[in-house]
Structure 1
Amino acid sequence: MTRALVLIDIQEGMDSPLWGARNNPDAETQAARLLAHFRATGAPLFHVHHLSTRPASPLHPDNGGTKIKQVVAPTGNEPVYAKSANSAFIGTSLEADLRADGVTGLVIAGLSTPQCISTTVRMGANLGFDVWLAHDACAAFETHAGYGWNADAPRMSAQMIHDCEVSILHGEFCEARATDAILEALS
């Protein structure tokens, strides 16, 4: 099985206070460990970044937050996909490129767990890929406070949102694994 790494939305704009409190401050470090392994072994890897269509978003091209963080920045000819939907497969050639490379399995990591990570994991599984979610190389935010809070919706912590999403995805759409377990399985 050929397994590829897909890093999603690890962008400078994700540091904006607009998103609210965040869990897992080590997510980028864990993603960088995965990236180093895939680079060292020559396994396929893909970078995805979000270009929001919402003018107020820190990830809108006019707001300066679209750049991929240095800790996982692409080098050389590593492919980079720009998306404006929650799934890395929508509006990009990611699926076709994965299939052209003979990829049948994915390792997915990035930001944020309940939005673009979850949507990409679900769609990847529905497209027939064997998906591993590097749960400790992902993070969630509490309520996206900058977009306004709906008082009728239950308020959840970033950790609770992250844990709920990982739990929901595991088994049905992916195998949720820690970075150490993924690296061991790939070695």
Structure 2
Amino acid sequence: MSTPALIVIDVQKAIDDPKWGRRGQPEMEARISELLAAWRERALPVIHVRHDSSDPSSPYRPGSDGNEFKPEVAPLPGEPVVDKRVHSAFIGTDLMDVLDELQVSNLVVAGVLLENSVEATVRMAGNLGFDVVIPEDAVASIDRTDKNGRHWPAEDVHALTLAILEGEYARTSTARAVIEALP
């Protein structure tokens, strides 16, 4: 793996709001913290993505407590923060400029929600030609109910989303394996 950039998506206090329902993958923040430590120790590029919702009722809206990064994965001074208003971190942001400046073609993408902003960003990254790895224990999903009323536990949403992304858009791994493969 050539020099990879770590992209941490939407890990803000808003994700703990009860409106989302039950979240799976309770170890996500700890695994992201381990990834961040490994990247920082090696002086590899880290990019944080912050969702700034335009919905006034969203816990992600700017100015709300939920808009703040969770402290255990917060950016350090000098680490770029990309502010987004839609699902993909590439749309309406300077993410591509940041990646071009860093001259990276490999991305490790972590954060929330796997089936929402992470997936949208990973699909776009794959379409743009980036080599993407998703550490499955550093992304999280929530319980979902489909239009027919069927309940899908977060663990099933997580597994299916990873299966859909595997191969065509990204490779899946674990945080530990990603760290062990770092230069």
Following TM superposition, by how much is the alpha carbon of 1:150 offset from its aligned partner in structure 2, in angstroms? 6.2
Residue in structure 2 matched with residue 40 of structure 1 by the alignment: 41
Residue in structure 1 matched with residue 155 of structure 2 by the alignment: 159
**Mapping 1:139-154, distance limit 5 Å:** 139-143=140-144, 151-154=147-150
Residue in structure 2 matched with residue 182 of structure 1 by the alignment: 178
Following TM superposition, by how much is the alpha carbon of 1:64 offset from its aligned partner in structure 2, in angstroms? 2.2
Equivalent pairs: percent with the same residue? 39
Following TM superposition, by how much is the alpha carbon of 1:151 offset from its aligned partner in structure 2, in angstroms? 4.9
Task: Mark the CA change 1:88 to 1:28 in structure 2 (over 3 Å): closer, same or farther.
Answer: same
Following TM superposition, by how much is the alpha carbon of 1:73 offset from its aligned partner in structure 2, in angstroms? 0.6
Cα RMSD for the two superposed structures:
1.3
C-alpha distance in 2 between matches for 1:131 and 1:96: 17
Following TM superposition, by how much is the alpha carbon of 1:179 offset from its aligned partner in structure 2, in angstroms? 0.5
Q: Deviations over 1:103-130 (max 9, x none)?
A: 0100000011100000111101111100
Structure 2 unmatched runs, 5+: none
Structure 1 unmatched runs, 5+: 144-148
> After TM superposition, where is structure 1 displaced by more than 4 Å over at least 4 residues in a row?
none
Q: Aligned partner of 2:155: which letter?
A: Q
Residue in structure 2 matched with residue 173 of structure 1 by the alignment: 169
Following TM superposition, by how much is the alpha carbon of 1:154 offset from its aligned partner in structure 2, in angstroms? 3.0
Following TM superposition, by how much is the alpha carbon of 1:91 offset from its aligned partner in structure 2, in angstroms? 1.2
C-alpha distance in 1 between matches for 2:99 and 2:34: 21
TM-score by length of 2: 0.95
Following TM superposition, by how much is the alpha carbon of 1:62 offset from its aligned partner in structure 2, in angstroms? 4.6
TM-score by length of 1: 0.93
**Mapping 1:101-112, distance limit 5 Å:** 101-112=102-113
